[in-house]
Amino acid sequence: MFIAALFNASKIIANEGRRLTNMLILMYGIFLIFEFWLINYQPYFLYHYKHGIISIYFNFIFWYFNIILVSQILYSLILSLLSRYKKPDYILILGSGLIGDQVPPLLKSRLNKGIELKNKFSQSKLIVSGGQGNDELISESEAMGNYLIDKGINESEIIFENQSTTTYENLLFSKEKVANEHTRNPHITIVSNNFHVLRAAFLSKKLGMKASVLGSHTAYYFYPNAFIREFIACIAMFKKTHICILGLATMTFIYYLIKG
């Protein structure tokens, strides 16, 4: 499993650039090695000490997060497959990082889906959203706009949002751009990769946007890392709920540990 994680991480870094979020699957592989060592070389600590209460506690944590992860993956895939959209006033393409000033394959898939949608609804305007990271030579929105122009899209049909650094800011700042052009609440189709549609849908609803979410194709090698990243991000979105549940479980664990 660790070898598979190492191979997957190297593939992602080669295609999408060297950044922390592209190494999550490698970190997961390291965790699996630690778990293997603990189970095989320290079984007494897990299964016998204090009548196995430590094992019960860590198994609860493990299954709690894994059930959420699996549920999230299934929901994201279903939402992507069943996504329906009506004629959009705007097509919002979310940024996802550059390699220098170049658009990597992951972002190209979003841009190509946006072009496909624009060709179908020619009256719609495109919004490219993304600021400039520390390892990027230009803003994501500028690189995305250049790609669209090279593919035949007129620059006057593109709105540039170049301040955002997170998905939440992508949506918030793009909503503000749209508000400057419309007094009504226009319909926006948000384009991202299919693994990302769930979080984009959550955030657009939180911001009160009249929006639908459309997922683009994702290369196979990106899925493991992407779903772990989205899992962490969604956990953070609802952190208060998870803190309460895990806090209750931890207090119960401490009570029985002391009692035992």
98 confidence band (pLDDT: 50, 70, 90): confident
Name the residue among 150, 55, 143, 43 with its Cα closest to residue 93.
Answer: 143
**Given pLDDT bands bounded at 50, 70 and 90, which one contains residue 51?**
low
Q: What is the reported pLDDT for 41?
A: 62
Domains of the chain: 2-80+235-259 (no CATH), 85-218 (3.40.50.620)
pLDDT of 169 reads 94
| Contact assessment for residue 195 and residue 165, using Cβ atoms and an 8 Å cutoff | no
pLDDT for 7 beyond 60: no
Q: Is the pLDDT of residue 154 over 90?
A: yes
Please compute the mean of the pLDDT values over residues 104-111 and round it to a whole number.
90
Q: How far from 232 is each of 17, 37, 70, 122, CA to CA, in Å?
A: 20, 25, 13, 37
> From the CB of residue 13, how many other CB atoms can be counted at a distance below 10 Å?
15
CB 211 within 8 A of CB 77: no
Q: Is the pLDDT of residue 171 over 90?
A: yes
138-146: average pLDDT: 93
- Residue 117: pLDDT band (50, 70, 90) is very high
Instruction: Give the pLDDT of residue 216.
Output: 85
According to the model, what pLDDT value does residue 2 have? 45
Tens-digit pLDDT profile for residues 173-228: 999 999 887 657 789 999 998 888 888 988 999 999 988 888 887 777 677 777 77
Q: Mean pLDDT throughout 129-158?
A: 90
Is the predicted pLDDT of residue 229 greater than 90, yes or no? no
- CB atoms inside a 10 Å sphere around CB 227: 20
Burial class (CB in 10 A: 0-12, 13-18, 19+), 215: buried
